[in-house]
Amino acid sequence: MPALRLHAPRLRFRHPRLWLIPPALVVLNVLAAQLLAPLDPAPPQVPYTYFKEQVQAGNVAEITTRGDDIVGTFLDPVAWPPNGPTPARVSTFRTRAPSFPDAGLIPLVEARHVVVNARALDEGRPWWTGILLSIAPALIVSGLLIWMITRLTPGRGLGRARPRRYVGEESTRVTFANVAGIDEARQELVEIVDFLRSPDRYRRVGASIPRGVLLVGPPGTGKTLLARAVAGEAGVPFFSMSGSEFVEMVVGVGASRVRDLFAQARRAAPAIVFVDEIDAIGRARGTLVGPGEREQTLNQLLVEMDGFDAGDAVIVLAATNRLDVLDPALLRPGRFDRHVTVQRPDRAGRQKILEVHTRGVPLADDVSLSDLAAATPGLVGAELRNVVNEAALLAARNGREVVRTDDLFEALERLVLGVARNVVLLPEDRLRVAYHEAGHALIGLVLPEADPVQKVTIVPRGDALGVTYQVPVDDRHNVTREYLVARLVGALGGRAAEELVFGNVTTGAQNDLRQATALARRMTTQWGMSDDFGLLSLDGLGGDEAVGLEVTPGRRVSELTARRAERAIARLVDACHAEARAILARERARLDALAEALLERESLGEAEIFEVLHPISAAPRRDAAKNGGVADAIVTNNDGEYDPRTRG
């Protein structure tokens, strides 16, 4: 099978007359240089008295005057300057006559038979130089305008599509063997490859291949990798462009590039056209005032995808992570017939992805990719590849030949928690951070619905002064209200601990409050988990925001409904905050012990946390669901895989 090679586009002058412009510019440059630059070196300047001495000695053959300037030629070359360290032999000279009349000069030069010439003060330029200087700027400007207009002509220059075209080369070929962890999406595309290899088998039974396949999924899940794998498996020309490459400042260029791209694909059929980040040109029409460049480009794309014949054998692949903003006309059958959702990988998928990315990485015997996959819920393929690469860099930095388990988990912490910073905190700030993180960790241990606490540290990482890391036991696809409430309570545990211990608050809970508010907003306005607001869903009623509570002319949420939703969100957050304070007040002894251990060791793993808290008896736990608390067993769809959260 032919391999893949990336051919960069070559710029060509499609109009033959454009080749006249560079030679013309060179000729103009040469003429200007000849006019402005002196042909011979200037003769040396000599004193007027020295000039008269040479005339008196009979060593001057000819002089030419122009005003007070005198230029002449010696009969025999003289050494000049006479008293200089390295005098040179010169045969020409120049001098300047004094401002007072010298009546004896004329008789002297006549007596010595010196040839005298005279020139006017201003002889003017040659006639042809004037014409050249007058028309040269016009010629240059006209040439540039012609060149720019030709570049804007459809099919040339700015209007010409320059897709990256992949053709055979084994070293860069990507196949389905390089794609792991997204088996369902890969299986959807195997049929596309089979059609491109043997289209007659499908046509004999009256089947037609989908004209367009839209890959939808979060960033980093492997949509572009899937498209390249399709090209590598099918062995057909693969034209790849990003959606932003169609859009230019000049209106009409994007539409011209769309036409040219599909024309190239039809000439090379069977072929694949891949448009990455199609939301850059495929956003719903009507969101902007007036038919601008983006809307014209989308209209042309719709026309081209409608213009396929059954025998074209051109398949359009596109990728996006914003399906909600695409124009409905683009998504209908006949254009993008098939939508392939690329989900975040589950535990087994993550292990397969790690196996692919560690093929060329020497691993120590103690490395378990299964354990690493279990510790990385919610991570996508690009993030897992980054973890492996960071671990390899750490091993090389430490002078090791193999990557060990601690390298992989240190790389994971760098990715999830951030890079450790050498920040010296004041003793009072360090104590406050310890209690803040202890509050997060303790609530994660006390509430049975919360995710297990894997690590808590007061070492500053990233933008946080401390981090509590919680990882779920299994991948979550559907979560209960109890679980979400436990996350809310845990997010507010740091703020509650500061209030309980110090009696005041700081800015350290900024990120916690942002996460808690966002989660409470989704629980209230998307998942129907608020008794005060009811089962109304405001998802998708307000632009790009997930909730859409701003009351503007373009929104379908009334001011009264928005106010009710905000009150329900505030009540949910306040109730969870009160629950966090109550838990920490009951568990004050454990809170103090955990904070002291953090001050002493700075970082605690799961086993160390239990070691610190085990000798201290637990306070009686109140069952929130049975005593009117904030947790009820209501199941909701969490819109995909669990995304691990850290609290700082």
For each successive 10 residues of the chain (648 residues), what is the average pLDDT?
Answer: 41 50 60 55 82 85 84 86 80 85 81 80 61 68 68 50 56 72 80 78 79 87 84 80 73 76 83 86 67 76 73 81 86 85 87 89 89 86 90 91 89 83 84 92 90 88 84 80 93 93 90 93 91 81 40 62 91 94 92 92 88 65 37 32 44
| Global confidence as pTM | 0.65
The pLDDT value recorded for residue 20 is: 62
In whole angstroms, give the CA distance from residue 512 to residue 464: 11
Give 526's strand partners.
Answer: none
Using CA atoms in the order 253, 331, 544, 249, what is the torsion angle rounded to 10 degrees?
0
Reference 220, options 357, 341, 325, 321; nearest CA is: 321
The pLDDT value recorded for residue 107 is: 84
**What is the DSSP track for 175-240?**
-GGG--S-HHHHHHHHHHHHHHH-HHHHHTTT----SEEEEE-STTSSHHHHHHHHHHHHTS-EEE
The pLDDT value recorded for residue 309 is: 59
According to CATH, what is the number of the domain 48-118?
3.30.720.210
The secondary structure of residue 125, as a DSSP letter, is -
In whole angstroms, give the CA distance from residue 524 to residue 535: 8
Q: What kind and span of H or E run contains 525?
A: helix 510-525
Model confidence pLDDT, tens digit, residues 107-145: 888 888 888 887 765 555 666 666 666 667 767 777 776
In whole angstroms, give the CA distance from residue 264 to residue 273: 10
Residues 6+ apart with CB under 8 A from 432: 498, 502, 506, 508
User: 275 φ, ψ to 5°?
Assistant: -115, 110
Where in the chain is CATH 1.20.58.760? 427-647
Q: What kind and span of H or E run contains 300?
A: helix 293-306
Where in the chain is CATH 3.40.50.300? 159-341
The pLDDT value recorded for residue 186 is: 80
The pLDDT value recorded for residue 593 is: 92
The pLDDT value recorded for residue 24 is: 65
Reference 369, options 355, 356, 379; nearest CA is: 355
In whole angstroms, give the CA distance from residue 386 to residue 530: 39
In whole angstroms, give the CA distance from residue 261 to residue 254: 10
The pLDDT value recorded for residue 131 is: 66
According to CATH, what is the number of the domain 427-647?
1.20.58.760
The secondary structure of residue 81, as a DSSP letter, is S
* Residues taking part in catalysis: 437
What's the order of all strands across the beta sheet hosting 69-80?
Answer: 88-96, 69-80, 60-66, 115-118
Give 214's strand partners.
Answer: 318, 339
In whole angstroms, give the CA distance from residue 598 to residue 326: 49
In whole angstroms, give the CA distance from residue 379 to residue 557: 35
Contact 516, 443 (CB under 8 A): no
In whole angstroms, give the CA distance from residue 232 to residue 218: 23
In whole angstroms, give the CA distance from residue 414 to residue 57: 93
The pLDDT value recorded for residue 555 is: 54
Reference 274, options 240, 301, 312, 235; nearest CA is: 240
Where in the chain is CATH 3.30.720.210? 48-118
Residues of the chain above pLDDT 70, percent: 75
The secondary structure of residue 66, as a DSSP letter, is E
The pLDDT value recorded for residue 41 is: 66
Other CB atoms within 10 A of residue 609 CB: 23
Where are the extended beta strands (E) located within 97-195? 115-118, 164-167
In whole angstroms, give the CA distance from residue 279 to residue 163: 18
The secondary structure of residue 323, as a DSSP letter, is G
What b/e string do you get for 472-496 counting C-beta neighbours within 10 Å, with b at 16 or more? beebbeebbbbbbbbbbbbbbbbbb
The pLDDT value recorded for residue 502 is: 92
Which tokens go with 379? 């991570």
The pLDDT value recorded for residue 25 is: 59
The pLDDT value recorded for residue 4 is: 39
What's the order of all strands across the beta sheet hosting 467-470?
Answer: 603-605, 453-457, 467-470, 646-647
Place of tokens 């779920």: 472
Contact 229, 203 (CB under 8 A): no
CATH of 347-416, one of 1.10.1370.30, 2.60.40.10, 3.90.25.10, 1.10.8.60: 1.10.8.60
159-341: in CATH 3.40.50.920: no
- Name the pairing type of β-strands 60-66 and 69-80: antiparallel
Where in the chain is CATH 1.10.8.60? 347-416
In whole angstroms, give the CA distance from residue 645 to residue 285: 36
The residue type at 461 = R
The pLDDT value recorded for residue 492 is: 94
Using CA atoms in the order 133, 137, 139, 140, what is the torsion angle rounded to 10 degrees?
130
